[in-house]
Amino acid sequence: MKLAFNIALRFLNSNKGQTFLIILGIAIGVSVQVFIGSLIQGLQKDLINTTIGNSPQITVLSALEDKTIGQWEGKIDTIKNSKEKITALSPTASFPGFIAFNKQTEPVLLRGFDLSKADSIYGITQSIYEGMPPTRKNDVLIGKELRDTLSLNIGDTITILTPTRKSQTMTITGFYDIKVASINQSWVITPIHTVQSLFEINNKITGIEIQVAEVFEADTIASHIDLLLGQNDLLKISNWKDQNQQLLSGLQGQSVSSIMIQVFVLIAVILGIASVLAISVLQKSRQIGILKAMGVKDFTASLIFLFQGFLLGIMGSILGIALGLLLAFSFTLFAINPDGTPVVALYINYGFVTISAIIAILSSTLAALIPAIKSSKLSPMEVIKNG
């Protein structure tokens, strides 16, 4: 083993130009993989983030006519204890209604939150650009677009009308902007008990909103939660994947084409290494013959070439990862939007980079298999006869 390794190292070292070319070939292959992989993954992360990052990925709703969920504290505990990786869990009481101010009326969604919990999904408190969060009953927070429509100011008193024509005056404590115009236009945010009392639902709520660590497992987590909660006639559970099939198949198509590119790059790299090493067996057949005449066994003779493939793979991978990361970082530096943010925020997944390297090393070793077999079959007589 050690002898074969040493001879492999010496062979590579004695032909530096050729060795460097193969390493460069592998490195370019690996760097393309790392770069494209990081780009596609960054793109997907971006897309998912903008689509579902600031919204619940799983929602528990009522299946009843009055849209309410009772004894919800127990249900929240059940979800908490589900052993799933839940990152946000927020109860809400929400009903549609109308806002009236200065003879103008607009349809709104009155959203009652426990802000400390809702913030981990929507980041409402951080998005308040003027005023304070609503803390008392009948305090409300108004979105930027709705504020412009109605020309509202802090301290203004507005009236909320329910579909059943109940009305209640409320006080504006601040304005938020969560960068989604339709939400800014329609959500009137208030402490949860404002909604509970206006709509006379006592302590009940209308939904539990959930975010999870593994967004792509939202559907299985959702059905697990469904199972744990039971009560199929009282509750219905939805998840973002069911509601975004098109986005998902788009992402999947992207992943598949990225894998295709990577497979073809890999094949090109393997063919390159295999052909250069095959030539190298011819170049070194004299040495192999001499070594065999001196007593080197066929297996050791083949190991010499497997080690060469392995060493080339390692060196090519290291250089390739360095090149790929360099390429990726310069891409984020040079491909930028007018405001200076990168067009695509790259996602450097070190697990993926490691896997690319391991695949490259394995394939280089595999590519050395044919030369290794040739080397194993070479007879010392071929060398000695030909002088």
Applying CB under 8 A, which residues contact another protein? 2-3, 6-7, 10-11, 13-14, 286-287, 290-300, 380-381, 383-384, 387
Q: Of 264 and 299, which CB lies nearer to another protein in the complex structure?
A: 299
CB nearer another protein, residue 17 or residue 295: 295
Closest distance of CB 313 from another protein, Å: 21
Provide the 8-state DSSP code for 49.
I
Shortest separation between residue 320's beta carbon and another protein, angstroms? 27
> What is the Cα–Cα distance from 328 to 347, expressed in whole angstroms?
9
Nearer to another protein, 85 or 297 (CB): 297
Q: Cβ distance 100 to 159 under 8 Å?
A: yes
CA separation for the pair 31, 38 (Å, rounded)? 10
Q: Which amino acid, 280?
A: S
Comparison of 3 and 213: residue with beta carbon closer to another protein: 3
Q: Which is nearer to another protein, 141 or 378 (CB)?
A: 378
Shortest spacing between CB 311 and another protein, in angstroms:
15
Measured from the CB atom, is 236 or 297 closer to another protein? Answer: 297
Closer residue to another protein (CB): 22 or 115: 22
Radius of gyration of the chain, Cα coordinates, nearest whole angstrom: 32
Output the six-digit token pair for 382: 């071929």
Identify which of residues 28 and 304 has a Cβ nearer to another protein in the complex: 304
Strands, DSSP E only, in the chain? 58-62, 86-101, 104-113, 128-131, 139-143, 157-161, 167-176, 187-191, 207-212, 235-239
- The least CB distance from residue 11 to another protein, in Å, is 6
Residue 249 CA: distances (Å) to CA of 84, 107, 237, 245, 252: 25, 34, 22, 6, 5
Q: How far is the CB of 296 from another protein (least distance, A)?
A: 5
CB 122 within 8 A of CB 187: no
Nearest distance, CB of residue 15 and another protein, angstroms? 9
CB-neighbour burial class of residue 352 (10 A; exposed 0-12, middle 13-18, buried 19+): middle
- Least CB distance from residue 370 to another protein, whole Å? 20
Burial of 51 (0-12, 13-18, 19+ CB in 10 A): middle
- Exposure class string for 322-349: b at 16+ Cβ within 10 A, else e: ebbbebbeebbeeeeeeeeebebebbeb
CB of residue 44 to another protein, shortest distance in Å: 48
CB of 299 to another protein, least distance (A): 8
Kindly tell me which of 205 and 311 has the beta carbon lying closer to another protein: 311
State the residue for tokens 């945010």: 189
Place of tokens 């959702």: 222
